[in-house]
């Protein structure tokens, strides 16, 4: 087994500021509901709740029953009212090099204008609005304007196709789409509004009454009079005064579509009070956030849940000053992120392992050419981070001193569930460690029996055995699928099944091994794809690896690996394949040795950066390819086919 059990000492300075929070665990364990009530009190409530949790009718929890609040008021107004109107909320960095600093007072004016215009369009609390926009400030303003009016937004990632947009519009029955004329993609202005037109012109009537368009690139834009409106001709002229109404704690704040095991995306529903409570709580403690001092940068896109909880709702509720960047990390060159860190003095940097591995591939001389000394804390999210990437991240980006918070959570959980608390608890490279105070989790076998700590062969299922404030309240329009997907496996116990495999080490710390459908069974041995990938990436010649289980007559499943070599490595592929098989045998066990290893120039990834294992399995097993519509570049397959 390759588990690396090193904990690391947090920096003395960091430990000193964070140590007081050790008591959090004890307080939360002693009285969970009182603990969450305390966290909810970080927010402004127009009306107090009468009950912290109503868990009578599992699987649907109600948190902060009868409480009323306004999410936008909490994220914007109250900071201005408290005298922080001049504090920068957003340092926005456009892809072409333009930039804007938006203070809380300016954000309040913009959100109020947008809210006034949306109300003038006849939209009412409970109506749905689709937001299909690149990372421009108006995207965040739009989300907050919806929240302010009680409109339920559905953000659709701007790189999704017209048909993906249409299916989401139809499922949620959106009355309005907010978009931009175009978006910048590596120096080119690419149309976006045209995709909205295509989505709405499929011959079927849609629920959409208006399309509100922000001019971003100046690209030529098709127009439908009566339906389409320019933001600068409408929102910009609306009044900057707007009084926020309060909404019920269980009012639906947003729907966010995510892929399940079937082809049809699930509309994950999040509500208001519990969601904002946990988003703000986690952002505060996990990132040890200091309002007015930190410059926080989460590199996600608002098209994903990380962008919702850790660009918009969590940080703004906590009066963060944050960087929002429109473009890719290698435009105009691979120095872009580090130039931005230097320009704004970023102190907290939260990104995904796939990007860390990309930085590794580009070489450490790139970050080394910059002064990154402002960074004091690093975050990771989206997949298990391999120890090699973890160490590189800490050493090269964190100067060997910044703690890393490896945050496990899901679109469905709404906010971070497991993470070290930096300076308070230990961390190990690649481990999600322990649930945060107020959260509980278990690693169990298929009968619900907890797996023994240190039992490395017995990888279990990760379950959440108690409701949490930011939990999903359902799948939009499909209560049956909601129950079936998350609550059926341990129905008698009322546990949420996370879909992830995990194990608990001898110290009682949790290692998330990846989705259960990615756990292979070779001759009756359970082996995680992530484990084999860790081993492969541990070889000096390998930049990235993806592993899938494929059917095998003798062993049930066999392991197929696809690897990208480090640039500059040009071994004959037979030699590297032999070395890699030996590495895996050595690092894990001969049973984990891949049957097939294919050296490839690229891996098929979703636009959120996740490797599409299902498609790799199709390739490895010689099947016709399934749906590739969410891929970054479907042409990648031409290079992959044997
Ligand atoms: C995986 C992203 C290990 C996991 C916020 C989960 C992780 C899925 C981690 C959710 C982590 C996310 N360590 N695995 N720190 N973070 N995952 O819905 O498999 O895009 O179930 O939410 O990502 O992905 P989603």
- Residue 36's contacts (CB-CB under 8 Å, 6 or more residues apart) are 52, 53, 63, 277, 438, 469
Overall domain count for the chain: 2
Report the distance separating Cα 58 and Cα 338, nearest Å: 47
Q: For atom 23 of ligand 1, which residue has the closest CA?
A: 382
Helix (H, G, I), strand (E, B) or coil at 126: coil
Nearest CA to ligand 1 atom 24: 410
CA–CA separation, 61 and 473 (whole Å): 7
Q: How far, in Å, from the CA of 410 to the mean position of ligand 1? A: 5
- Structure confidence at residue 187 as a pLDDT band (50, 70, 90): very high
State whether residue 628 is helix, strand or coil: coil
Residue 335 belongs to some domain of the structure: no
3-state helix, strand, coil in the chain (%, to 5): 35, 25, 45
> What average pLDDT does this structure show over 72-79?
98
Q: 626 pLDDT band (50/70/90 cuts)?
A: low
CA nearest ligand 1 atom 8, residue: 410
| Cα distance between residue 125 and residue 622, in whole Å | 50
Boundary-marking domain end, from 328, 361, 390: 328
* For residue 314, pLDDT beyond 80: yes
Residue 498 alpha carbon to ligand 1 centre in Å: 10
- The separation between the first and the last C-alpha atoms of the chain, rounded to the nearest angstrom, is 31
User: Does a structural domain hold residue 94?
Assistant: yes
**CATH code: domain of residue 235:** 3.40.50.12780
Ligand 1 atom closest to the CA of 512, numbered from 1: 3
* Banded pLDDT at 629 (limits 50, 70, 90): low
DSSP sequence for 434-453 = SBPTT---EEE-TTSPBPPT
Residue 241 lies in a domain: yes
In sequence order, which residues have a C-beta less than 8 Å from that of residue 314 and are 6 or more positions away? 279, 280, 282, 283, 415
Ligand 1 centre distance from Cα of residue 583 (Å): 27
Question: Given 268, 298, 328, which residue is the final one in a domain?
Answer: 328
Beta bridge partners of 475: 268
Ligand 1 centroid to residue 512 C-alpha, Å: 9
Confidence of residue 16 (pLDDT cuts 50, 70, 90): very low
Sign of the torsion formed by the C-alpha atoms of 101, 103, 106 and 111: positive
Range with the poorest average pLDDT among 12-16, 163-167, 367-371 = 12-16
Lowest mean pLDDT among 90-99, 285-294, 423-432, 616-625: 616-625
Stretch 382-410: mean pLDDT: 92
pLDDT for residue 353: 87
Length of the chain: 642
Annotate 227-294 with DSSP letters as a single string. Answer: TEEEGGGTGGGS-S--PPPPEETTSEEEEEEE--SSSSPEEEEEESHHHHHHHHHHHHHHTT--TTT-
The domain that holds 615 is classified in CATH as 3.30.300.30
Does residue 304 lie in a domain region? yes
Identify the band that residue 532 occupies on the pLDDT scale cut at 50, 70 and 90. Answer: confident
Q: What is the pLDDT of residues 433-478, one digit of tens each?
A: 999 999 999 999 989 999 988 876 657 999 999 999 999 999 999 9
Compute, in angstroms, the gap from residue 384 CA to the centroid of ligand 1. 7
Flag whether 356 is in a domain: no
Which residue ranges have their beta carbon within 6 Å of ligand 1? 258, 305-306, 380-384, 406-411, 432, 498-500, 512, 514-515
Highest mean pLDDT: which of 26-30, 225-229, 575-579? 225-229
The closest alpha carbon to 93, from 331, 351, 373, belongs to 331
Whose CA is closest to atom 3 on ligand 1?
A: 384
Q: Is the pLDDT of residue 3 over 60?
A: no
Q: Is 231 among the domain residues? A: yes
Instruction: Compare 21 and 592 and report the one with higher pLDDT.
Output: 592
223-257: pLDDT as tens digits = 999 999 999 999 999 999 999 999 999 999 999 99
What are the strands of the beta sheet with 128-132, ordered from one edge? 228-230, 210-214, 176-180, 128-132, 152-155, 252-258, 266-271, 474-475
Range of the domain at 609: 523-638
The answer to the question of residue 444 being in a domain is no
Structure confidence by residue, pLDDT tens digits, 287-305: 999 999 999 999 999 999 9
CA distance 123 to 137: 22
Distance CA 559, CA 443 (A): 25
- Last residue in a domain, options 310, 328, 346: 328
Interatomic CA distance for residues 610 and 598, integer angstroms? 19
Per DSSP bridges, beta strands 519-522 and 525-528 are antiparallel
Residue 355 tokens, joined: 């990007």
* b/e map 578-603, b = 16+ CB within 10 Å: ebbbebbeebbeeebbbeebbbbeeb
> Looking at residue 6, what is its pLDDT?
40
pLDDT score recorded for residue 98: 98
- Does residue 641 or residue 635 have the better pLDDT? 635
Which is it for strands 176-180 and 128-132: parallel, antiparallel or unpaired? parallel
Dump pLDDT digits (tens) for 123-169.
Answer: 999 999 999 999 999 999 999 999 999 999 999 989 877 878 998 99
pLDDT above 70 (res 264): no
Q: How far is the CA of 264 from the centre of ligand 1 (A)?
A: 19
Q: In this predicted structure, what is the pLDDT of residue 521?
A: 65
pLDDT score, position 4: 35
pLDDT score of 5: 33
- CA count, 13 A, side-chain hemisphere, 10: 23
Is the model's pLDDT at 11 over the cut of 50?
Answer: no
Does residue 210 lie within any of the structural domains? Answer: yes
For ligand 1, atom 13: residue with the closest CA: 384
Position 602 scores a pLDDT of: 86
- Give the pLDDT band of residue 523 (cuts 50, 70, 90): low
Band (19; pLDDT cuts 50, 70, 90): low
Q: How far apart are CA 464 and CA 557, in angstroms?
A: 29
Lowest mean pLDDT among 162-166, 368-372, 400-404: 162-166
d(CA 232, CA 114): 11
Judging by DSSP bridges, how do beta strands 404-407 and 460-464 pair with one another?
A: unpaired
Q: Identify the burial level of 170 via C-beta atoms within 10 angstroms of its C-beta, where 0-12 means exposed, 13-18 middle and 19 or more buried.
A: middle
Q: Over 80: is that where the pLDDT of 346 sits?
A: yes
**435 Cβ contact partners less than 8 Å away, ≥ 6 residues apart:** 417, 418, 441, 510
State which of 383, 459, 502, 514 you would mutate to test the pocket of ligand 1, scoring each by most atoms of that ligand within 8 A of its C-beta.
383
Distance (Å, whole) CA 290 – CA 276? 18
Work out the average pLDDT over 7-24: 54
Strands 152-155 vs 176-180: parallel, antiparallel or unpaired: unpaired
Residue 77 has pLDDT above 90, yes or no: yes
Percent of the chain with pLDDT strictly greater than 70: 90
What pLDDT score was predicted for residue 502?
92
Q: For residue 640, is pLDDT > 80? A: no
Question: What is the rounded distance in angstroms from the CA atom of residue 561 to the CA atom of residue 533?
Answer: 8
Range scoring the smallest mean pLDDT among 38-47, 54-63, 603-612:
603-612
DSSP state of 189: E
Q: What is the bridge-based pairing of β-strands 128-132 and 152-155?
A: parallel
C-alpha–C-alpha distance, residues 58 and 346, integer Å:
42
Peptide bond between residue 59 and the one before it cis (omega within 30 degrees of 0): yes
Task: Share the mean pLDDT of the chain.
Answer: 90
């Amino acid at each position: 087994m390759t588990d690396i059990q090193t904990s690391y000492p947090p920096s003395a300075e960091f430990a000193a500021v964070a140590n007081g929070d050790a008591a959090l665990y004890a307080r939360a364990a002693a009285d969970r509901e009182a603990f969450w009530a305390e966290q909810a009190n970080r927010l402004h409530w127009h009306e107090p709740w009468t009950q912290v949790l109503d868990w009578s009718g599992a699987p649907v929890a109600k948190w902060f029953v009868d409480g009323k609040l306004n999410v936008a008021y909490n994220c914007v107004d109250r900071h201005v009212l408290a005298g922080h109107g001049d504090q920068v909320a957003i340092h926005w960095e456009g892809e072409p090099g333009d930039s804007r600093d938006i203070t809380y007072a300016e954000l309040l004016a913009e959100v109020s204008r947008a809210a006034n215009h949306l109300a003038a369009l006849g939209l009412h609390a409970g109506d749905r609005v689709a937001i299909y926009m690149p990372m421009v400030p108006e995207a965040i303003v739009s989300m907050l304007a919806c929240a302010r009016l009680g409109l339920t937004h559905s953000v659709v990632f701007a790189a999704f196709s017209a048909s993906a947009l249409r299916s989401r519009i139809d499922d949620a029955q959106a009355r309005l789409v907010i978009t931009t004329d175009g978006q910048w993609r590596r120096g080119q202005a690419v149309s976006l509004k045209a995709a909205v037109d295509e989505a709405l012109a499929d011959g079927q009537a849609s629920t959409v009454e208006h399309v509100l368009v922000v001019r971003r690139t100046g690209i030529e834009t098709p127009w439908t009079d009566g339906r389409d409106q320019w933001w600068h001709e409408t929102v910009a002229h609306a009044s900057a005064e707007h009084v926020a109404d309060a909404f019920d704690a269980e009012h639906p704040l947003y729907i966010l579509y995510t892929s399940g095991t079937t082809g049809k995306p699930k509309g994950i529903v999040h509500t208001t009070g519990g969601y904002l409570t946990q988003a703000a709580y986690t952002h505060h403690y996990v990132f040890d956030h200091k309002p007015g001092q930190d410059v926080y940068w989460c590199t996600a896109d608002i098209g994903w849940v990380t962008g919702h909880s850790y660009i918009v709702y969590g940080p703004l509720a906590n009066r963060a000053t944050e960087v929002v960047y429109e473009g890719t990390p290698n435009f105009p060159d691979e120095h872009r992120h580090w130039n931005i860190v230097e320009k704004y003095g970023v102190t907290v940097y939260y990104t995904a392992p796939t990007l860390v591995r990309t930085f590794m591939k580009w070489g450490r001389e790139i970050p080394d050419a910059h002064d990154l000394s402002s960074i004091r804390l690093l975050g990771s999210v989206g997949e298990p981070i391999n120890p090699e990437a973890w160490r590189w991240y800490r050493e090269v980006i964190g100067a060997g001193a910044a703690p890393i918070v490896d945050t496990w959570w899901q679109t469905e959980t709404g906010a971070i569930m497991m993470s070290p608390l930096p300076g308070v608890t230990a961390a190990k490279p690649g481990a999600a460690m322990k649930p945060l105070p107020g959260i509980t989790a278990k690693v169990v076998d298929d009968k619900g029996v907890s797996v023994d700590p240190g039992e490395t062969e017995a990888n279990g299922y990760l379950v959440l055995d108690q409701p949490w404030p930011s939990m999903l309240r359902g799948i939009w329009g499909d209560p049956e699928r909601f129950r079936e997907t998350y609550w059926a496996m341990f129905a008698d116990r009322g546990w949420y099944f996370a879909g992830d495999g995990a194990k608990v080490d001898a110290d009682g710390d949790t290692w998330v091994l990846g989705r259960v459908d990615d756990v292979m069974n070779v001759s009756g041995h359970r082996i995680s794809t992530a484990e084999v990938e860790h081993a492969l990436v541990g070889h000096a010649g390998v930049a990235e690896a993806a592993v899938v289980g494929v059917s095998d007559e003798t062993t049930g499943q066999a392991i197929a690996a696809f690897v990208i070599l480090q640039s500059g490595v040009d071994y004959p592929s037979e030699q590297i394949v032999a070395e890699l098989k030996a590495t895996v045998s050595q690092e894990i066990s001969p049973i984990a040795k891949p049957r097939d290893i294919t050296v490839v120039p690229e891996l098929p990834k979703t636009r959120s950066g996740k490797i599409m294992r299902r498609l790799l399995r199709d390739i490895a097993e010689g099947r016709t390819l399934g749906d590739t519509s969410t891929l970054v570049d479907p042409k990648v397959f031409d290079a992959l086919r044997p």
